[in-house]
Chains A and B, each alone.
Chain A
Amino acid sequence: MTTDIGPVRDKVRSYILANLMFTDDASQLPDDVSLLDRGIIDSTGVLEIVLFLEEEFGIKVKDADMLPENFDSVGSIAHFVGRQTAQ
C-alpha cells in the first residue's frame, strides 16, 4: 500500500519554515533543497525536527535513522515519515 505523503510534506515544510526559517513563504523551501547546504539545519535543528515528527506523526525516530538521506530535504523527510507510518 502506498501512502499519500502530500499532506505530510506540507506539514513538514510549514514546520521548518516557521521554526527554523522564521517565514511563511513556502517558495523559500522547495522539496529537494538541501537543508544542510542552505544552512537551515545544524545538529540542534535536526533534533527539533525529530521531536516535531515524533509528536505530530506518532513515530519513533531511532538515532541510527538520523542520516542525511532521511533528513536533508523536505522531500526526504516526508518519505521517511511515510515509510515509518506504513510499517
Chain B
Amino acid sequence: MTPREARLLHDSLLVVAADPACAKKTAVIVEGAPHSYAELLDEALRLASALRDRGIERGDRVAIYMDNTWPCVVSIFGILIAGGVFLIVNPQTKADKLAFILDDSGARVLLTDAHLAKEFVPALEQVAHAPAVICSRLDDSAGAAESFETVIASSAPLATRAATIPLDLAALIYTSGSTGNPKGVMQTHQAMVFTAGSLVEYLRLDADARILCMLPLAFDYGLYQLLMSVRLGATLVLERSFTFPAQIFARMRESEVSVFPGVPTIFAMLLAAHSREALSFPRVTRVTNTAAALPDDSALRLREVFPNALIYKMYGLTECKRVSYLEPELIDAKPGSVGKAIPGTEVYLLSPEGHEVAPGEAGILHVRGPHVMLGYWNRPDLSAHMLKPGKLPGERVLCTQDHFRMDDEGFLYFVGRTDDIIKTRGEKVSPVEVENVIHGLGGIREAAVVGVEDAVLGQAVRAYIVLNPGASLDERRIRAHCAAHLENFMVPRDIVLCADLPRTATGKVSKKALLENPPA
C-alpha cells in the first residue's frame, strides 16, 4: 500500500514502515523482545486480510481481550487496516462483563489469548451472537478457536485499502459509568489522529523517544502511548504491568526508556522503593501523570528519581482522552493545577444554569475540540447527558460533569466530581457495578460501596453490607464472590458488615453520612 499523509489512525504505520530508513527500526519491545516497524506492518496486513476473509467489513467491531502483548499490538493495527473498529477489553475483566461488552459492541471477531480461556469460554456461552475466536498461544482450553499465529502465517498481506474515511469509527473505548454497565466511547479516526498529534506536541516528543507502557492498552492512557509512538516512528517499551517493579526498572535501563507515563499509585510505589534504596533514571526526560492528582510533594520527590525529566501533571477523561496539561516549567508556580487545554482545544467553566463563572469560582468543566467523542455506543440517552450544543450549528461540546475552578490566568484546578465514581490505582470504579455484583450473591439486604482515602491507592473501595436475617455470609465469602465477578481493582479492600445503613430524609442510603460517620 502506498503511504500518504496520516488521515487515518493506521496511516502513520504505513508511512514509517515504508520508509527504508525506518522499516528496520524497533517499533515495540515486548517484555524484552524487539519487533521492527516492517514486522508490525507485515503482521497487521496479514491479520487484516484474515479478518476480511472472516467477513469483517468497514465499520464492523472486533474485540481484543488480551494482555499487553505483541499479538495485541498487531491486532489493533490489523483491525484498523481491515476497516474495522477495535475495542480492547481489560484482561482482568471477568466472564459476565466480557459477555456484556461483546453483546453491546456486536463484535464479530474476538482476538484473545489462551491463558484467558477461564473467562472467555463461559462468556462466549452467554452471548447472543458468538463472535469467531482467534486465540494466541492456542491450547486445548480455548474451545472452538483458531490459532492467532497460524492465521497470521497462513494469510497473505492485504493488498487493497479499505474504504475508511476519517469520520469513520476507529475505536470503542469502554469505560465504567455511574449507571453500572460500562459504556463504549466512540472515537473516530480523525479524532484519534488529532489527539495523538496534540499529545506529542505538548510532550515535545520526537522519533528518538523510547516510551514505556506498563498501563493496560485497554486503558486510553496506555493505548495512546502506542499511538504516539507509532505516529512518531519512535520505540514503545511494552510491559504487562507494574506488578514487579524491579523488573520494570531493569527493563528501563536496558531499553533506555526516555518517557515514563504513570498514575499516582505507580508513583507512590516507586517513591516507596526509592526511600528503601535510592533509584535514579537519568535517561528519562519525560514523566507524565494522569488518572488522579499527583500530590505536590510526590512531584517534588520524583525529581530525585528522574533528575533530567520534565514532569507533566495532566487531566483527562475517556470521553475526550485528555483535557489539560500543566507546562512542566510551571510546576512550582502553579501547585495543584492541571494546567490549560491541550493544543488545538479549549475549555471553559459554566454554572449549572449555563452561565459563565468568575475567576476563582467553581463551575462545570466544558471541553471543545476535535478530540471530543462522538457519543456512547448504543446509548443516546447517556450521550445527551455529556454532549451539549456548542457555539456553532450542529456542534457538540463535552460537558464533563466535573467541577473545576480557574485562576485569573486561566489555569485549571480540580474541585470535585458530580458522580460517585471511585478512583483507585488510577482506575475508575462504579459503586453501582460493585453493589450489583454483591447483590448477585443472595442473602444481601443492602450494600453501599464508597471510596475512602488511601495514601497509595488514592481511594480504596469499601463495601458496607447489611445481611438478610438468617443469612450466613461472611466477609471471605463475599470477597470471593466479588473476585470471581469483578476486575481485581474493583474488589472491595474493606468489607464491613453492619446492622443498618444511614439514610437521607427520603429514605435513600446516604453515602455522605457513611463517609462522615462510618457504622461500627
Residues of A whose CB lies within 8 Å of any CB of B are 18, 21-23, 34, 36-39, 41-46, 63-68, 71
- Could you say which of B236-244, B351-359, B389-397 contacts chain A? B236-244
CB distance from B365 to the nearest CB of A (A): 31
Residue B298 is within 8 A (CB to CB) of chain A in the complex: no
Q: A63-B276, A67-B247, A68-B247 are in contact. Are A34 and B115 (CB under 8 A)?
A: yes
Q: Output the nearest chain A residue to B279 by Cβ-Cβ distance.
A: A63
Q: A63-B273, A67-B244 are in contact. List 16 more A-B contacts (CB 8 A).
A: A18-B476, A22-B477, A37-B67, A38-B118, A39-B91, A39-B92, A39-B488, A42-B241, A42-B489, A44-B456, A63-B277, A65-B246, A67-B246, A67-B247, A68-B244, A71-B244
0 or 1 for each of B421-459: is its CB under 8 Å from A? (1 = yes): 000000000000000000000000000000000001100
Q: List B residues 480-517 near A (Cβ within 8 Å).
A: 480, 483, 488-489
CB distance from B75 to the nearest CB of A (A): 18
Query: Is the beta-carbon distance between B243 and A46 smaller than 8 angstroms?
Result: yes
Q: List B residues 234-263 near A (Cβ within 8 Å).
A: 240-247
Query: Is the beta-carbon distance between B243 and A63 smaller than 8 angstroms?
Result: no
Residues of B whose CB lies within 8 Å of any CB of A are 67, 91-92, 115, 118, 240-247, 265, 269, 273, 276-277, 456-457, 476-477, 479-480, 483, 488-489
Residues of B contacting A42 in the complex (Cβ-Cβ under 8 angstroms): 92, 241, 243, 488-489
CB distance from A35 to the nearest CB of B (A): 9
Q: A63-B245, A64-B246 are in contact. Are A43 and B483 (CB under 8 A)?
A: no
Residues of B contacting A68 in the complex (Cβ-Cβ under 8 angstroms): 244, 247
Residues of B contacting A21 in the complex (Cβ-Cβ under 8 angstroms): 480, 483
Residues of B contacting A36 in the complex (Cβ-Cβ under 8 angstroms): 240-241, 243
The docked-state distance in angstroms from the alpha carbon of A65 to that of B246 is 7
Interface centre among B118, B244, B489 (most CB of A within 10 A): B244
Q: Output the nearest chain A residue to B265 by Cβ-Cβ distance.
A: A43
Query: Is the beta-carbon distance between A43 and B115 smaller than 8 angstroms?
Result: no
Residues of A contacting B277 in the complex (Cβ-Cβ under 8 angstroms): 63
Task: State which of B246, B247, B476 has its C-beta within 8 Å of the C-beta of A22.
Answer: B476
Query: Is the beta-carbon distance between A66 and B480 smaller than 8 angstroms?
Result: no
Query: Is the beta-carbon distance between B245 and A66 smaller than 8 angstroms?
Result: yes
The docked-state distance in angstroms from the alpha carbon of A64 to that of B115 is 27
Shortest beta-carbon contacts, A-B, top 7: A22-B480, A37-B115, A43-B243, A22-B479, A64-B246, A66-B246, A43-B242
The docked-state distance in angstroms from the alpha carbon of A45 to that of B242 is 12
16 A-B residue pairings within 8 Å (CB atoms):
A21-B483, A22-B476, A22-B477, A22-B480, A22-B483, A36-B240, A39-B92, A42-B241, A43-B242, A43-B265, A44-B456, A65-B246, A66-B245, A67-B244, A68-B244, A71-B244
Interface centre among A34, A44, A46 (most CB of B within 10 A): A44
The docked-state distance in angstroms from the alpha carbon of A64 to that of B276 is 11
Residues of B contacting A37 in the complex (Cβ-Cβ under 8 angstroms): 67, 115
CB distance from B383 to the nearest CB of A (A): 32
Residues of B contacting A38 in the complex (Cβ-Cβ under 8 angstroms): 115, 118
CB distance from B204 to the nearest CB of A (A): 30
The docked-state distance in angstroms from the alpha carbon of A53 to that of B329 is 44
The docked-state distance in angstroms from the alpha carbon of A23 to that of B91 is 22
CB distance from A80 to the nearest CB of B (A): 13
CB distance from B416 to the nearest CB of A (A): 26
CB distance from A71 to the nearest CB of B (A): 7
Q: Output the nearest chain A residue to B67 by Cβ-Cβ distance.
A: A37
The docked-state distance in angstroms from the alpha carbon of A45 to that of B92 is 14
Residues of A contacting B488 in the complex (Cβ-Cβ under 8 angstroms): 39, 42, 45
Residues of B contacting A44 in the complex (Cβ-Cβ under 8 angstroms): 456-457
Q: Output the nearest chain A residue to B137 by Cβ-Cβ distance.
A: A37
The docked-state distance in angstroms from the alpha carbon of A44 to that of B240 is 15
Residues of A contacting B476 in the complex (Cβ-Cβ under 8 angstroms): 18, 22
CB distance from A20 to the nearest CB of B (A): 8
Interface centre among B118, B242, B245, B456 (most CB of A within 10 A): B245
The docked-state distance in angstroms from the alpha carbon of A18 to that of B320 is 41
Q: Output the nearest chain B residue to A20 by Cβ-Cβ distance.
A: B483
CB distance from B498 to the nearest CB of A (A): 21
Query: Is the beta-carbon distance between A41 and B243 smaller than 8 angstroms?
Result: yes
Q: Output the nearest chain A residue to B480 by Cβ-Cβ distance.
A: A22
Residues of B contacting A43 in the complex (Cβ-Cβ under 8 angstroms): 241-243, 245, 265, 269
Residues of B contacting A65 in the complex (Cβ-Cβ under 8 angstroms): 246
Query: Is the beta-carbon distance between A46 and B244 smaller than 8 angstroms?
Result: yes
Residues of A contacting B480 in the complex (Cβ-Cβ under 8 angstroms): 21-23
Q: Output the nearest chain A residue to B276 by Cβ-Cβ distance.
A: A63
CB distance from A54 to the nearest CB of B (A): 14
